[in-house]
Structure 1
Amino acid sequence: MTMNSAAKDHVESITKALLIPTAAAGVYARTALFEQVVEGLAAFIGRRRDAETEILRFPPVMSRQQLQSSGYLQSFPHLLGCVSSLDGDESDIRALVKGSDWLARLATTDMVLNPAACYPVYPLAAARGQIPAKGLLFDVAAYCFRHEATHEIDRLQAFQMREYLCLGSASQALGFRDRWLSRADEFAMQLGLPHRIEPASDPFFGRAGRLASISQLEQSLKFELLVSLHSDRQPTACMSFNYHLDHFGKAWNLRTETGQIAHTACVAFGMERLALALFATHGIELTSWPTPVRTNLSL
C-alpha cells in the first residue's frame, strides 16, 4: 500500500465517526464529536480577532444581483448554485406538483447560494459610504455552497467558512494579508498540524480563467496553508490568504476618505477541512490529543 493510499484509507475510516452521508453528493450531517471540534476551532479563531473588528454572520443565501455585480459569474460560473421555486397561484402549483414535469417549470429566484462568506460584505460596506481612514475590519462566517466537480471528503459542496476581512487603502489591505500570513505557522503549530504554506490560485473558469490563475500566481496574490489528508502530492488547503487588489473596490465603488478606490484582503478558514485535518493528525479519541492542542481548543 502506498503512503497516499494509506492516508486516504485513514481519512475514510475516521470520517465514518465524524460525518454522515446524505442523499446529496458532497453534503454531510455532522456528528456531535465533529461539531465539538468545529466549535472549539471557531472560538480559537475568534480569540485572534483584531481590535475594532465588526462581527457579522450571514445566511447561506444572498442576492443574485449582488453576487453578479461582484464579478462571480465571470470568474466562477461553474461553481454557482441558484435558488429556484415554483411560480403561480395555488391551482397552478398543485397542477405542476401532480404532473411529471415540475422540474422543467422551476423559475429562478433573486437569490443564489452564498459561495464565500465575504461576498455579502462589499455591498453592505458600499451602502455605508466612504471607508474611514483607519480602514474596516470584519469577522464573517456563513454556510457556503460550491458546485464541485469532485466530491472528496475535503471538497464538500456545502461547508462552513470563517473569514477575517480588511477594506481600506492598498497598504492597509496588503499589510493585513501579510500579517495573517506571518501568523499562519504559529496558528497551525498551536493545533499540532504538519503543514506548509505555498502560493496558490483560484479555480477560475475557462481559458481566460487559466490566464487569471497565472496572473494571480505571478503577483503573489494568494497563499494557502496546506495539510496532507488523503494525498501528499495534492494536500488540502485549510486556510487561504488573499489580496484582491481593487477588484471589489471597483465593483462596488468602495472609496477611502481620500477618494481612492479601496483595496481588500481576507484570510479564510475552511472549518470542516481544519477539523478533518485535526482528526486525521491526532485521531478520533479527543483524550489522546496533545494537551496543548486540547487546551487551545477548550476540549
Structure 2
Amino acid sequence: MNMPTEPAVLMQAEGQTSSVASDPTLRDRLIEAGILIDTGENGLYGRSEVFEDVVDRLNKVITLLGADQSAEVLRFPPAMRRHDFEDSEYLKSFPDLAGTIHAFQGNDRGHHRLLEALDKTLAVGDQERSDEWMDQQKPTRLVLTPAACYPVYPLIARRGKLAEEGAIVDVFAYCFRHEPSIDPGRMQMFRMREYIRVGSPAQVMAFRQKWIERGSALVRLLQLPFEIDLANDPFFGRGGKIVADSQREQQLKFELLVPVATPNKLTACLSFNYHMEHFGEIWNIQQTDDSLAHTACVGFGMERTTLALFRHHGLDVTKWPEAVRTFLWGDAAPMIADALARTGTNA
C-alpha cells in the first residue's frame, strides 16, 4: 500500500537540480504565477481561475469515485450553530484551532466607543495595530466550521433511529482552523470533501477500509507519490498527548501523505477516521437495536491535493502528464471503474 517518496525524482519533476535556501518555495512560485493570491495574512489566500478549475475537476472525480455509495448529498456554509459546536467537544481537544464569529450588538453609545477605538487603531498606519475596537464585538450564535462533517452528526441524531443499513452522507464545505503558517498546505480557510458513514462497527470499519483503497487509487490516477500511515489529531495540551497516543494505539486514524510544500516533507492530503461511538454518544445517535451508532469518515483536502498536483506536475496545467489531464479534463468514468475493479471495492 505504501509508496515511499524519492526527493531526487520530485526535484527532477520540478526542474530543480538541488534544494538550497535560495530555491523559490512552492508558495512563492504559485504567488508569482498568480495561481495563489497573497492577501498579506499567512494561511489566507485568494485562488485564481486555474486553481479553482483544478479543485472543480478533483471534486468531480471524487463524485465519480463515490457514485455507488448511495450517499445523501448535503452542502453546508462555512459556519455552524454554536450550540452544536459546544456539544461536539471540539474545544476540549482543539481550543487553539477554533474560530468563533463575533458581531457588534450594542447601542449608539457603544457604536461611538467602537468608532473612537477604530480611529486610534487606524492612526498607527501599517504598524502593529490594537484590537481595542473589538471590545464592542460580542459572540454570535455561530462559529466557523472546523471540519465538514461536524454539522452532519446532530442532523442525523434529530432524525431519530438509523435505518438497518445506517447512513452515508456526502458533504463539501469550507472549514477554518486557526493555525497561521507560510506553508501553503496549512491554510486557515480550506475546503474538505467528505464521505461520512454512520452505523454499526462492522459497517463503518468496512467503509473506512474501502475508502483507504479508493483514496489510494485516486492518488495513483493523479500520478502523485504517497504513503499511507497511522496518524493522530493535534490534541491540545498535556492531556492531548495521552489522547493522541490512545488514538494511535487503537489505529483510529490513517492519513494519505504526499510531499507538497517541500520534496522531503509529507503533508496529509486525505484522512481516514474511525470515531468509534464518540459522536454517537454525544448526540445519542441510535441504531435500530437501541445501541449507539459508530461513525467514520474519509476527508479529501481539496487545496492540499491541488497544491500537490502543482508541486509534482508543474505550474502549467497544459503540460501535465497526458494521463492526468485525461483523468481530470476528459472522461474519467472508465478510468475510475478500472481502478475500483483492481482494488476490489466496486462491489
1:1-299 equivalent positions in 2, closer than 5 A: 3=19, 9-17=25-33, 18-49=35-66, 50-89=68-107, 91-100=108-117, 101-298=132-329
Contact 2:81–2:142, Cα closer than 8 Å, also in 1: yes
Bigger Cα displacement from structure 2, 14-23 vs 74-83: 14-23
Distance in 2 between the 1:295 and 1:29 partners? 27
- State the one-letter code of the partner of 1:170: P
- State the one-letter code of the partner of 2:59: A
1:232 is displaced (CA, Å) by 4.6
1:74-99, Cα deviation, whole Å (9 max, x unpaired): 0111100000011123x235313322
Bigger Cα displacement from structure 2, 127-136 vs 283-292: 283-292
Task: Point out where structure 1 has 5 or more consecutive residues left out of the alignment.
Answer: none
1:8 is displaced (CA, Å) by 6.5
Contact 1:8–1:229, Cα closer than 8 Å, also in 2: no
1:248 is displaced (CA, Å) by 0.2
1:295 is displaced (CA, Å) by 1.6
Q: Secondary structure of the equivalent of 2:194?
A: strand
Task: Point out where structure 2 has 5 or more consecutive residues left out of the alignment.
Answer: 1-16, 118-131, 331-347
Bigger Cα displacement from structure 2, 42-51 vs 235-244: 42-51
1:145-164, Cα deviation, whole Å (9 max, x unpaired): 00015341110001111101
1:110 is displaced (CA, Å) by 1.3
1:237-266, Cα deviation, whole Å (9 max, x unpaired): 100000011100000000111111000000
With over 3 angstroms needed to count, the CA separation of the structure-2 counterparts of 1:46 and 1:6, relative to structure 1, is farther
1:3 is displaced (CA, Å) by 3.8
With over 3 angstroms needed to count, the CA separation of the structure-2 counterparts of 1:203 and 1:4, relative to structure 1, is farther
1:188-223, Cα deviation, whole Å (9 max, x unpaired): 110111111111100001111111111111111111
With over 3 angstroms needed to count, the CA separation of the structure-2 counterparts of 1:29 and 1:10, relative to structure 1, is closer
Distance in 2 between the 1:189 and 1:8 partners? 27
TM value normalised by structure 2: 0.82
Distance in 2 between the 1:32 and 1:202 partners? 32
With over 3 angstroms needed to count, the CA separation of the structure-2 counterparts of 1:16 and 1:44, relative to structure 1, is farther
User: How large is the RMSD of aligned CA atoms in angstroms?
Assistant: 1.8
With over 3 angstroms needed to count, the CA separation of the structure-2 counterparts of 1:11 and 1:281, relative to structure 1, is farther
Contact 1:144–1:160, Cα closer than 8 Å, also in 2: yes
Q: Secondary structure of the equivalent of 2:276?
A: coil
Count of aligned pairs between the two proteins: 298
Contact 1:7–1:230, Cα closer than 8 Å, also in 2: no
- State the one-letter code of the partner of 1:85: A
Distance in 1 between the 2:146 and 2:319 partners? 36
Q: Secondary structure of the equivalent of 1:185?
A: helix
Distance in 2 between the 1:237 and 1:103 partners? 35
Distance in 2 between the 1:74 and 1:7 partners? 41
1:182 is displaced (CA, Å) by 1.8
TM value normalised by structure 1: 0.94
- State the one-letter code of the partner of 1:209: G
Contact 1:226–1:237, Cα closer than 8 Å, also in 2: yes
Bigger Cα displacement from structure 2, 67-76 vs 10-19: 10-19
- State the one-letter code of the partner of 1:195: F
Q: Secondary structure of the equivalent of 1:241?
A: strand
